[in-house]
Amino acid sequence: MIQTKLANGFNSIGNEYDITKTDFLTEHGFQSIGNVGELIKNGIPTKSNLLSCGVYSISIPKNYLPQFIIPADALANGNVLSPWSIERLKSKWVENADIIYFGLAGAKSNRSLKKRINDLIKHANGATSDRGPHKGGEIIWQLNGFEEFKVWIYPTGLPPEPRIIEEKLIRRFFNQTSKLPFGNRQF
């Protein structure tokens, strides 16, 4: 089972897998649930695998070239609570990576992918408070065209499995690129 493979043996997956590419997600059992714009417009799909804990990822379209939204405009959009300067965003960008974020649902409690991704999409759409609902990765919303970014899910077992997998994915990304994914700020 892929879940067990990722949770228990992820470090043993060969270097032939480029974790920065969308192909990595499809080859390891992640499923696309749509792009951010579709999810804002239509809501989160009704799929049984969204009721599990799990990890999720955000990818950019092929040939995407980053254009950053200035802090004042990001604040005005309401979907970035702590905007970064353009210079800081440029230094955070990971060239040639399709994957810009890994997240999880169910770090310590039985939180479903559906609930966590719903928080992500609310935040992307500007339905925020001073605490979120999804401050992690919010600099993604400082990228023009974020509505076209794909959201991928990977259902797992109960905690701590989602956190173990997320950390392994982020560490593998860092080991390959010497940077965290664009939207991630920590392991």
Helical ranges in the chain per DSSP H: 2-9, 22-27, 36-42, 71-77, 86-92, 113-124, 161-177
186, part of any domain: no
C-alpha distances in Å from residue 162, one per residue of 22, 82, 146, 152, 167: 20, 26, 25, 14, 9
* Average pLDDT of the residues in 178-184: 98
Answer yes or no: is 183 within a domain. no
Query: How many domains is the chain partitioned into structurally?
Result: 1
In a domain, 58, yes or no: yes
Supply the pTM of this predicted model. Answer: 0.91
Query: Tell me, what's the pLDDT at 127?
Result: 84
Instruction: Note the pLDDT of residue 143.
Output: 98
Give 44's DSSP letter. S
User: Domain for residue 116, yes or no?
Assistant: yes
Q: What domain range is 137 assigned to? A: 2-177
Q: What is the pLDDT of residues 44-89, one digit of tens each?
A: 999 999 999 999 999 999 999 999 999 999 999 999 899 999 999 9
Of the candidates 68, 67, 69, 63, which has an alpha carbon nearest to the alpha carbon of residue 98?
63
Query: For residue 86, is it within any domain?
Result: yes
Average pLDDT, the chain: 91
Is residue 187 situated within a structural domain?
Answer: no
Q: Which of 84, 65, 64, 88 is nearest to 74 (CA)?
A: 84
Alpha-carbon distance of 67 to 84, in angstroms, equals: 13
DSSP state of 54: E
Task: Report the pLDDT value the prediction gives residue 121, as an integer from 0 to 100.
Answer: 96
pLDDT in tens, 18-39: 999 999 999 999 999 999 999 9
185 lies in a domain? no
Residue of 37, 47, 43 lying closest to 118 (CA atoms): 43
CA 55 remoteness from chain centre: 8
In a domain, 141, yes or no: yes
- Which residues are CB-neighbours of 116 under 8 A, at least 6 positions away? 56, 103, 104, 105, 106, 134
Q: pLDDT band at 1, cuts 50/70/90?
A: very low
